[in-house]
Amino acid sequence: QLQLVESGGGLVQPGGSLRLSCAAFGFRLNSVNIGWFRQAPGEERELVSCISKAGDTTDYAHSVKDRFSISRDSATNTVNLEMNSLKPEDTAVYYCAADWGPYTPGCSAVLFTYWGQGIQVTVSS
């Protein structure tokens, strides 16, 4: 059974850091492009970052560029999202998702066919 599981969320103060991980079960993560998306209450789901199968191409939303970093860890079959200098507006449910097709810059959510359950990130003092 294919499964994506997010971990590492929680409550953090503004300016703090969190590391989200996306683990795959039933398949190798290097066979898919992985995207991190987020959805805040009352807002549409938006791309945060994505990484190609080979890990050689990445994209970031303008709002997180220079603060967030996406990477692959083949040893643990995970894709990690390092989030630094967190702001209250980063508060959302974060999802990882898999795209089996060729990498498409911009990583539209419609290309991602398999999604994790999501994990809450709250940035608040």
Answer for the pair 80, 70: CB distance below 8 angstroms, yes or no. yes
- The C-alpha atoms of residue 49 and residue 97 are separated, in whole angstroms, by 11
* Cα 49 to chain centroid, rounded: 6
Give the pLDDT score at 92: 98
Give average pLDDT by consecutive 10-residue segment, the chain, 125 residues.
Answer: 94 98 92 97 96 95 97 93 98 97 93 96 97
Give the pLDDT score at 96: 97
Output the DSSP codes for 22-84: EEEESS-GGGSEEEEEEE-TTS--EEEEEE-TTS--EEE-TTTTTTEEEEEETTTTEEEEEE-
Give the pLDDT score at 74: 87
Give the pLDDT score at 2: 87
Answer for the pair 123, 12: CB distance below 8 angstroms, yes or no. yes
